[in-house]
Chain A
Amino acid sequence: MLKDIFVTPFADMVAAPDFLLQVLWEGLVSGILYALIALGFVLIFRSSRIFNFAQGIMVVFAALTLVGLHSFGIPAWIAVVLTLGVMYVLAMSIERVVLRPLVGQPDIILFMATIGITLFLIGGGEIIFGGENKVMITEELGIPTGDSVLEPWGGLLILQHLDITVVVVAAALVAVLLAFLNYTQMGRAIRALGDDHQAALSVGISLQTVWVLVWFIAGIIALVTGIAWGARAGVSFALEVIAYKALPVLMLGGLESITGAIIGGLMIGLLEKLFEIYWGQPLMGGNTETWFAFVLALIVLLFRPQGLFGEKIIERV
């Protein structure tokens, strides 16, 4: 038994490095999506201290809107632009109707409000687009669907073109977001707002503008994730689950940290895949991906309650 846990998996990895690469690649693909979606959470949390429960449903809503608009006969790329418009209107409405009246309320109230948004979007999405599963308009968007076969060390490595596209687009989006947050005035305003509302106001930062902006960014992220995940698993309300995968990422990375979200996302993507293939399937009958990330996060939290990269919690007594 001990041998199965501590020796065999590593022996397998060394024996078939091409397969290990395949596993790591697939881990990277989901990891980068987790990172992206966690970034959406972090941005909203940093600028308003709101834990946005609705992030998951926003993914579904964005994907549904895109597919729905296309089904009305609108060309794919125009549908993308229109969906972005819808996400912007959504961000504005959320700020106006939900956030503004609740300014200064305890965090838990704002959290509950995002649950309200979730339920509203589920209902609204079903009424407008129907509840049945849909197919993502992958080809219409011009996303390649073939695959490339590589042969490292005489082995076999299959790279889906869809996955390559996802990795490139998601990585580019993450890079643009990072640059935006770190090197522009608006990005600085977003980071500043989370630290001190009063100070932010005194240097001319408008709460409303920043909130609409971060919710819109969360909307863009939702659309990209929705397209990527929808292309693999179809568009249905079950897509929401991907956002809950971001929860352990956040626990691991800390709700405050942008770097934490990215590293945490990649880590969870890679580790859960490795664990599933080398330990889960042979020893536990598989399907460990549903819980592995949460257990990992739990263990991290036991030793570092603020997450791996979160702000240090200092209690003054």
Chain B
Amino acid sequence: MKDTEGYVTADGRQIGGQLMELKNITLKFGGVTAISDISFDIHEGEIRAIIGPNGAGKSSMLNIISGFYTPTEGELWYKGAKRPPMKPFEVARMGVARTFQNIALFEGMTVLDNVMTGRLTHMNAGIGAQALWWGKARDEEMENREKVERVIDFLEIQNIRKTPVGRLPYGLKKRVELARALAAEPSILLLDEPMAGMNVEEKEDMSRFILDVNDEFGTTICLIEHDMGVVMDLSDRVVVMDYGKKIGDGPPDEVRNNQDVIDAYLGVPH
């Protein structure tokens, strides 16, 4: 298999081997083909971006990775093994955490509780033990709490820990969602348009957090983004999609000069 080795990025960081590989993925809804025959991979420790104009199939691709959609054709390899069709919660338990384009938080719960749900994948104690707050369950809760506090601290949301999420402004909600995903200590972190609808300042903050997360925890990140500028600065490698097809794949500089990509973004008739 080619490309299983790591590589060195433009800014000199060493990237690990292949963590996930998508082979010839096709996704059809009835007669509509949302994704046709796309292959790419994600390496350990890199920031991988998927970009493309509206309706290119980026979100569908993310939904396939996180198990919300099952591809019509194609294979998904994860940590060296082929992944059978799975439910989203099973995928989550395998170390794939995600955020959503239109924010999916538990609005009625506090920030702290929301982030705590991120630790559900690390829950081992039985329900009975939990109900009675027994030994193992108690230790687990303490340990989870500690990890969560660290994430909260890292993303600088300490001051809103006890605030119900429903009351927060948009930019902060996005950050809480990131915190929840991060609390799971995921092998892959999927971000669906983390900067959608943000102003310049919020975008800068979010970019900084994404870079810090990658740097500090070594988390592999796969993100979808609209904003070309942001993506080019953030990511190590970029997949470009248009009308469900892959039209480019490589480091930002290479993709930027790809004629197909330029056409797609400038709108050349198909």
Q: Which residues in A have some Cβ–Cβ distance to B below 8 Å? A: 176, 179-180, 183-189, 191-192, 194-196, 198-207, 213, 256, 311
Contact = CB atoms under 8 A, between A and B. Distances in A.
B116 A188 contact: yes
Given A186-B123, A187-B130, A203 B97 contact: yes
B117 A188 contact: yes
Contacts of B113: 188, 191
Nearest to A198: B104
B131 A203 contact: no
Interface of B: 66, 68, 87-90, 92-93, 97-98, 100, 104-109, 113-114, 116-121, 123, 127, 130-133, 137, 140-141, 144, 180-181, 184
Given A184-B137, A186-B123, A188-B120, A199 B106 contact: yes
A185 B116 contact: yes
B88 A185 contact: no
B199 to A, nearest CB: 22
Contact of A195 (B88, B92, B108, B181): B108
A185 B106 contact: no
A180 B180 CA distance: 21
Given A195-B109, A201-B92, A202-B98, 5 more contacts: A179-B133, A185-B117, A189-B120, A191-B113, A199-B105
17 contacts: A185-B141, A185-B144, A188-B113, A189-B120, A191-B108, A191-B113, A192-B114, A195-B109, A202-B88, A202-B97, A202-B100, A203-B117, A203-B120, A203-B180, A204-B90, A204-B120, A205-B89
Contacts of B184: 203-204
A240 B62 CA distance: 48
A295 B180 CA distance: 44
A203 B119 CA distance: 8
A180 B130 contact: yes
The dominant DSSP class at the B interface is helix
Given A192-B106, A201-B68, A202-B88, A184 B131 contact: yes
Contacts of B137: 184
A196 B132 CA distance: 27
B116 A204 contact: no
B87 A192 contact: no
Contacts of A179: 133
B170 to A, nearest CB: 15
Contacts of B105: 195-196, 199
Nearest to B67: A201
A188 B115 CA distance: 10
Contacts of B108: 191, 194-195, 256, 311
Contacts of B87: 201, 206
Contact of A204 (B92, B109, B114): B92
A198 B180 contact: no
Q: Closest 9 interchain pairs by CB? A: A199-B104, A204-B92, A195-B106, A201-B88, A184-B130, A204-B121, A185-B123, A192-B106, A204-B93
B89 A204 contact: yes
Contact of B106 (A176, A184, A191): A191
Contacts of B181: 202
Nearest to A312: B166
Nearest to B137: A184
A180 B104 contact: no
A210 B113 CA distance: 17
A188 B180 CA distance: 13
Contacts of B89: 200-201, 203-207
A176 B131 CA distance: 7
A274 B68 CA distance: 54
Contacts of A202: 66, 88, 92, 97-98, 100, 104, 181
A176 B144 CA distance: 21
Nearest to B106: A195
Contacts of B104: 196, 198-199, 202
A228 B43 CA distance: 61
Contacts of A201: 68, 87-89, 92
Contacts of A176: 131-132
B121 A184 contact: no
B117 A205 contact: yes
B100 to A, nearest CB: 7
B120 A199 contact: no
Contacts of B92: 201-204
A236 B116 CA distance: 44
B151 to A, nearest CB: 13
A196 B130 contact: no
Given A180-B130, A201-B92, A185 B120 contact: yes
